């Protein structure tokens, strides 16, 4: 399956780049921790458990924003994208490779964030973990293609959050719902639906974003 | 533009019908419903039309569809904003608040407003050309998929986070009300159509003017 | 191999390419000349498929895997070494026997000793040579080179001369340059923008 190997090669490239540069992942880790601490101070002492769960999700979203912005947008990536587009690979493989790599970064950040949340606020339930896993897929799938769109124009770092946040609102609903509801199944199913629908759309349309 | 003229007439007729004392119901504030919901539905139609044109652009590569898609999204955003405004007014007159998170349409349109406002920011940041057309088209497709997904999300959120406090009558309309509603809806759609064709023609004219001016400068 | 008629490319109101006609036969070596800003780069990008014409017809009888492109940017990842960069491209272009091929090209362009250094540490001339390695890696049928000598010192230029001379007739070339004298002996056609 050459497609799978292309994706693997591209994902490996991104992971290797991060290993060398060591910029994105440390920033994400520090950011998510600092955000959680900030939220701890921002919440009044008698705040409900529900409120704090919401903040976890906001922290995750913003950390993802930080990470994905770094993925496509730095100058170097923009200029080199031509090289990938010229190659005889499926353009959707470029997207998928980026998604895989971003998932790895986001996952790594959450490995730190979730226990920290458990420490600062309250216990993390299995439904929260499941929701985070599902939400990650949607975040990275949508984020990757939006980042490519933003990177094509001016003011990319400013534009990407503006593009990303409206589309991430349903994820917020699904995630918070799964974490605090008595029937997390519906919310998890919704997240899976979101993932499926938008991943397919992004996969099919990425070609048109990077070519003219 | 004779068609457009006739179209505007029908739209005017629809609005005239609105003011007719057809429906004696629970309070005059109900009237806004005849404005608010058709505007909302028209906005959806515009976004859908814009997505269709976007699809055609990606499918055929014919650049004409870019302007059509953009104009449709523009119309949709205008009507979407009007939806928010009329919805807010209705909430105010019905329940005394300017905003209600229990009001599904309102929340949905807020999300869509944010999304489509970003459409224009995106478009503005891109250099003119086939690249911008494609990226705008893909974004428009994302938008139209976002509509049902957001609707689902809002329904789910209601169960949990924002309890439904206010109910409003929808489909349980009497025959008269339903008829008025349909006419208003038709009027709104026609109005949107007229504005759409108008703006499209205007923009096309601008482009041609620019082409001619450029040829003159070089000639 | 390449057939273009009335090619036009505009960016907003500005028309960078105006009614360009071009025909390049298989095995041909065509020079594209013109002042800065005359659209040489844009023309090459159109043919490479990196941009679409806003008017006119363009037919390029070559699939992506058989196309080699050298633009103003080297298109390499600065944080990766030369070898890692070429390995990635070899993988994407499905180059057979990638190790040998990469080694050979690095040697021919005198980059073998620097193969494990990050591309970001390369000098301008080295980057250009690495970019040439990348463009030639998959032994493409069609080569689009945009000012290939830019940044090269006399040694580098000689290496490039040699590589071009070897491939003339076997591959098709479209080379943009503002110094046509150097390549005139190899050229079979020219286009002035």
B125-140 tens-digit pLDDT: 999 899 999 999 999 9
pTM, two decimal places = 0.92
Q: Domain map of chain B by residue range?
A: 30-218
Q: How sure is the predictor about B27, in pLDDT bands with cuts at 50, 70 and 90?
A: low
Helix (H) or strand (E) holding C4: strand C2-11
Structure confidence at residue A15 (pLDDT): 92
Q: Which residues contact C180 (CB under 8 A, 6 or more apart)?
A: C31, C33, C187, C190
Write the DSSP string, C84-128.
HHHHHHHHHTT-SSHHHHHHHHHHHTT-GGGTTSBGGG--HHHHH
Judged by CB atoms closer than 8 Å, whether chains meet at B130 and C52 is answered as yes
CA B144 – CA A198 distance, rounded (Å): 11
Of C26, C124, C28, C115, whose CA–CA distance to C73 is shortest?
Answer: C124
Structure confidence at residue B21 (pLDDT): 45
Chain B nearest CA to C52, separation (Å):
7
Q: How sure is the predictor about B166, in pLDDT bands with cuts at 50, 70 and 90?
A: very low
Judged by CB atoms closer than 8 Å, whether chains meet at B214 and C15 is answered as yes
Structure confidence at residue B29 (pLDDT): 59
Of 3.40.50.720, 3.30.70.980, 3.40.50.300, 3.30.70.20, the CATH number of C1-62+141-193 is 3.40.50.300
CA B64 – CA A103 distance, rounded (Å): 38
Nearest to C54 among B129, B210, B214 (CB): B129
Give B-chain residues touching A142 at CB under 8 angstroms. 142
For residue B219, pLDDT beyond 90: no
For residue B213, pLDDT beyond 80: yes
Structure confidence at residue B165 (pLDDT): 46
User: Chain A 73-102, CB below 8 Å of chain C: which residues?
Assistant: 76, 79-80, 82-89
Chain B nearest CA to A103, separation (Å):
21
Range among A21-30, B3-12, C62-71 with highest mean pLDDT value = C62-71
Q: Which residues contact C78 (CB under 8 A, 6 or more apart)?
A: A76, C118, C119, C120
Q: How sure is the predictor about B58, in pLDDT bands with cuts at 50, 70 and 90?
A: very high
At C85-117, the pLDDT tens digits run 999 999 999 999 999 999 999 999 999 999 999
At A35-76, the pLDDT tens digits run 999 988 888 777 777 778 888 999 999 999 999 987 776 656
Between residues B158 and B30, the one the model is more confident about: B158
Nearest to C12 among B61, B128, B130 (CB): B128
- The ipTM is 0.93
Q: Domain map of chain C by residue range?
A: 1-62+141-193, 80-140
- Strand C67-70 versus strand C142-146 pairing type: parallel
Q: Kindly state the tokens that stand for B200.
A: 């499209």
Q: Kindly state the tokens that stand for C144.
A: 């689009």
Interface test with B, best of C10, C17, C52, C56 (most B CBs within 10 A): C52
Chains near B (3 or more Cβ pairs under 8 Å): A, C
- Taking 70 as the pLDDT cut, the residues of chain C under it are none
Helix (H) or strand (E) holding A43: none
Judged by CB atoms closer than 8 Å, whether chains meet at A83 and C76 is answered as yes
């Amino acid at each position: 399956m050459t497609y799978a190997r292309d994706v693997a090669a591209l994902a490996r490239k991104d992971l290797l780049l991060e290993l060398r540069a060591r910029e994105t992942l440390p920033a994400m880790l520090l950011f998510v921790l600092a955000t959680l601490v900030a939220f701890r101070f921002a919440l009044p002492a008698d705040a409900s458990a529900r409120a704090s769960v919401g903040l976890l999700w906001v922290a995750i979203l913003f950390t993802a924003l930080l990470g994905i912005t770094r993925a496509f947008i730095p100058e170097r990536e923009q200029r080199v994208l031509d090289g990938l587009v010229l190659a005889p690979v499926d353009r959707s493989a470029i997207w998928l490779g980026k998604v895989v790599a971003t998932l790895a970064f986001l996952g790594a950040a959450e490995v730190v964030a979730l226990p920290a949340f458990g420490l600062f606020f309250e216990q993390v339930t299995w439904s929260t973990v499941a929701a985070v896993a599902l939400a990650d897929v949607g975040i990275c799938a949508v984020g990757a293609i939006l980042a490519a769109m933003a990177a094509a124009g001016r003011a990319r770092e400013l534009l990407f959050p503006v593009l990303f946040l409206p589309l991430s609102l349903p994820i917020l609903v699904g995630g918070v719902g799964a974490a605090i509801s008595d029937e997390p199944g519906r919310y998890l199913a919704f997240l899976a639906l979101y993932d499926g629908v938008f991943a397919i759309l992004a996969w099919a349309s990425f070609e048109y974003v990077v070519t003219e | 533009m004779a068609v457009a003229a006739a179209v505007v007439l029908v739209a005017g007729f629809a609005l005239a019908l609105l003011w007719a004392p057809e429906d004696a119901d629970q309070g005059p504030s109900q009237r806004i419903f005849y404005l608010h919901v058709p505007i909302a539905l028209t906005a959806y139609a515009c976004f859908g039309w814009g997505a269709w044109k976007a699809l055609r652009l990606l499918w055929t590569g014919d650049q004409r569809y870019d302007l059509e898609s953009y104009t449709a999204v523009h119309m949709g955003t205008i009507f979407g904003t009007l939806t928010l405004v009329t919805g807010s007014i209705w909430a105010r007159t019905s329940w005394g608040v300017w905003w209600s998170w229990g009001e599904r349409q309102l929340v949905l349109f807020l999300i869509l407003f944010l999304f489509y406002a970003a459409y224009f920011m995106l478009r503005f940041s891109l250099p003119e050309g086939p690249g911008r057309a494609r990226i705008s088209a893909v974004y428009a497709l994302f938008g139209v998929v976002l509509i049902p997904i957001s609707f689902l999300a809002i329904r789910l959120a209601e169960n949990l986070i924002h309890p439904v406090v206010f109910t409003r009558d929808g489909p349980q309309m009497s025959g008269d009300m339903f008829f008025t509603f349909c006419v208003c809806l038709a009027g709104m759609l026609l109005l949107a159509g007229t504005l759409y064709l108008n703006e499209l023609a205007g923009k096309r004219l601008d482009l041609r003017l620019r082409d001619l001016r450029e040829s003159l400068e070089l000639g | 191999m390449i057939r273009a008629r009335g090619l036009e490319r505009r960016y907003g109101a500005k028309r960078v390419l105006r009614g360009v006609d071009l025909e390049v036969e298989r095995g041909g070596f065509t020079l594209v000349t013109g002042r800065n800003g005359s659209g040489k780069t844009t023309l090459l990008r159109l043919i490479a498929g990196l941009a679409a014409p806003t008017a006119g017809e363009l037919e390029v009888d070559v699939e992506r895997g058989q196309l080699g492109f050298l633009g103003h940017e080297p298109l390499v990842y600065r944080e990766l070494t030369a070898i890692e960069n070429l390995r990635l491209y070899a993988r994407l272009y499905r180059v057979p026997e990638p190790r040998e091929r990469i080694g050979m090209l690095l040697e021919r362009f005198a980059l073998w000793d620097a193969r494990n250094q990050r591309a970001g540490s390369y000098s301008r001339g080295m980057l250009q040579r690495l970019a040439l390695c990348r463009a030639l890696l998959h032994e493409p049928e069609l080569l689009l080179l945009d000012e290939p000598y830019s940044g090269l010192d006399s040694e580098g230029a000689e290496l490039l001369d040699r590589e071009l001379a070897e491939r003339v007739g076997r591959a098709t070339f479209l080379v943009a340059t503002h110094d046509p004298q150097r390549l005139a002996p190899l050229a079979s056609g020219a286009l002035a923008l």
